[in-house]
Chains A and B, each alone.
Chain A
Amino acid sequence: MKKNKGWFILFVGPILLAFLVVQIIPIFIGMYYSFTDWDGIGNQANWVGLQNYIEIFTQDEGFLHAFAFTTIFAIVSVFIINIIGFGLALLVTKEMKGNNFLRGIFFMPNLIGGLILGFIWQFIFIKAFDWIGAQLGVSALQGWLSTTMTGFWGLVILMSWQLSGYMMVIYISALQGIPESLKEAAAIDGANYLQRLRHIIIPLVAPAFTVGIFLSLSNAFKLFDQNLALTNGGPYNSTQMLALNIYSTAFTYNKLGLAQAKAVIFLFTVAIITLTQLYYNKKKEVEM
């Protein structure tokens, strides 16, 4: 037993050390600050007890709105991203000419970040959509990003475009792990493609779905760059998401204590949501 413990420390220890120093300790410091009126300058902060938490729930409509908006966004985009991502993975693992190349293409959106992303997509939504709308006479394509609805879908489209390639990578490695023999056996048994997909492929890559949904969910909840670059919360802060709300509380309003309290609430809520999802999916994995 003692020997096992030694190995455990040797194997888990190094990365756990980095993890603790880089993530866990800062979180606890942050939690401490959530009970203070810290302004981020120096370390002096006065203890204010639960005041920040009370303020969030009694006075801060913006935060609650951001919370609701983010939740809806997360549900919609997680659904879309994983379907597209899995679909892409199925497509490029087919034996087909150029699928290696296609993988590269689907993955490339991940290489553009921040400001440049905002620049490109603004042009697409505002100019290109407008132009297409005018040609086809579809007024729904005009005036994008100027209403809450179009801002929302703009974010969903952008996020799906970026992340489905990412999820594709995860699903590819899962699909490649399926023993060829199993698929062949099913084909011989006369199962058509959809049947094979439903009864062989999906159950076997279920763990990857757990990971994929978890990742896209946490990414959707944490979305910051894209939000800032594309809408910056506009129109009238109606598309402001949680991370952006926290950021602006911290660095526009200089209320870092309050921002930390929001982060704590955010963390707990999202942890509950995603861990429920993890638990549920794991259960399903076993069942399948």
Chain B
Amino acid sequence: MKYKKSLVFSLITVLLFSLFLTGCGEKEVNQTDAPTTQKETQKTEKEDKKETVEVDIFQFKVEVAKALEEAAKVYEEEKGNVKINIQTVGGGDDYGAALRAKFQSRQEPDIFNVGGPQDVEDWMDTLEDLSDQPWVDLALPGMLSGATVDGKVYALPFNVEGYGFIYNKRIFKDAGIDVSQIKDFASLEKAVQELDGKIKAGDLKDKYPLLEAVFEMPAKERWVTGLHASNAALSQEFDSSIAAYEAKEIDFKYADAYKAIIDLQANYSANSETKDRLVAVDYATQVDEGLAIERVAMIQQGNWIYGGVYDIDPEVADNLDILPMPIQGGKEDCIPVGVPMHWSINTKSTPEKKEAAKDFLNWLYTSETGKDFVVNQFFFIPPFEGYEDLQPKDSLGKAVKRYSEEGKTTPWVFMGYPTAWGEDVLGVEIQKYLAEKVTWEELVEEVKTKWTESR
């Protein structure tokens, strides 16, 4: 009986679905209703307000996605005849792949993101020349260099970011260490040793029960060691990412100072006795489960960690500041500051779309409303003049700004490293070095050779 019942049941479903199928099969092959309705709506929209222009943005910064959508809404209302569609790629590091897919699919975005010189060269055929845009003249010195080719500007710098040794002010204060005296490597090392001694002696145990080391070092995140840390040394050798991009070889003149920075972090981390374990330490362990819960006092990171730390412990977040990343023998009292990403416009879009896209970006970075979004909603440090009234409000943004204003900065040149050199060569070699698979001399030799090879 049961068998018969289930037979009847399946038959009915199958009949139903086969009816469905004939309808849908055709749809699949021809056109589907999704695009047609879309076309229809476009049509009706066109009839309503004659020149509604749609601008598609394809961007990667999840952190600002929501605020950007709000900004777009405000802009749409202001203009009346523009529609901004924003698509954000979540998850962090798949943007390059996603952007390629986007272009392959022939649904090319009008506005998208490019990184440094290598990206600009790769995407050159699709980049609109933006040299005539009003914001070009407002850019702070050096901020356009990453996207300038032959004197033409191809992209708008996203924001300014800086990194260094971010430390917890309270811990240093309670340990009785005067941070204002830290201006070079020697004084930094001395302070670290002092704090380390106090942590090991248990002097800070009452106030900071979790505190177990000065540093946490995420050697698993090869961008931290291979790109950022090395940049401190190589930015003494090159004055811009373009210079690094054009260099056929490197001296690695400050390799020893770079080693000193790496060793300092490793030797005063919780894994100082088992340094090979550092290769399993990731960003979350370093920031969220390290600095933010006061398990460690200092990490090499940038102002972008503020939001994440704030979500965990606002008090810690507001008590952060940045110490320099001193390169012995070079400029010591400074932090690397640069532009991580750019906005660019697809030169193959229609003239109307390009105009609208340009206008939107210009509005975002130069109008009063836009500027307010950039500083207070995106939490960006703007790379332009004209933001005097809008100061960053978070502790780390302020710190970066302070270094910039005092001229205590070195540029970000890692954008000009050969493709994947920083992470896949240097970052990997650092892991080997920490696991004592290679000596420092071998490491330096290897990375220099690989640089020359890839040029």
Contact = CB atoms under 8 A, between A and B. Distances in A.
Nearest to B97: A251
Contacts of B104: 40
Interface residues of B, number: 32
B435 interface: yes
Give the interface SS of chain B, mostly helix, strand, loop or mixed: helix
A253 B282 CA distance: 22
B267 interface: no
Given A41-B100, A250-B97, A254-B122, A237 B280 contact: no
Contact of A40 (B100, B420, B423): B100
A7 interface: no
A267 interface: no
Given A41-B125, A42-B103, A236-B435, A253 B280 contact: no
Nearest to A122: B282
B58 to A, nearest CB: 14
Name, among B25, B100, B432, the residue most crowded by chain A CB atoms within 10 Å (CB to CB). B100
B394 interface: no
Nearest to A118: B282
Interface stretch (B2-10, B246-254, B270-278): B270-278
Nearest to B428: A236
A248 interface: yes
Interface in B102-135: 103-104, 122-123, 125-126
A114 B276 CA distance: 26
A146 B126 CA distance: 42
Contacts of B169: none
B437 A143 contact: no
Contacts of A237: 424, 428
Nearest to A253: B420
B277 A146 contact: yes
A172 B103 CA distance: 44
A145 interface: yes
Given A147-B276, A248-B424, A252-B420, A41 B126 contact: yes
Contact of A235 (B25, B96, B276): B276
B404 interface: no
B349 interface: no
A232 B126 contact: no
Nearest to A230: B280
Contacts of B432: 235-236
Contacts of A144: 280
Interface in A218-238: 232, 234-237
A126 interface: yes
Nearest to A115: B91
A280 interface: no
B284 interface: yes
Name, among B126, B279, B419, the residue most crowded by chain A CB atoms within 10 Å (CB to CB). B279
A1 to B, nearest CB: 26
B284 A119 contact: yes
B420 A234 contact: no
A126 to B, nearest CB: 6
B61 interface: no
B220 interface: yes
B366 interface: no
Contact of A253 (B97, B274, B284, B419): B419
Interface in A242-264: 247-248, 250-254, 256
B409 interface: no
B88 to A, nearest CB: 16
Nearest to A154: B280
Nearest to B28: A18
Nearest to A148: B435
A235 B222 CA distance: 10
Name, among A119, A144, A236, A253, the residue most crowded by chain B CB atoms within 10 Å (CB to CB). A236
Nearest 5 Cβ contacts at the A-B interface: A235-B279, A145-B280, A146-B280, A40-B100, A236-B431
10 contacts: A39-B122, A42-B126, A126-B285, A147-B435, A232-B220, A234-B280, A235-B435, A236-B435, A251-B94, A253-B420
Given A143-B277, A254-B122, 7 more contacts: A42-B126, A146-B279, A232-B220, A234-B220, A235-B431, A236-B432, A251-B94
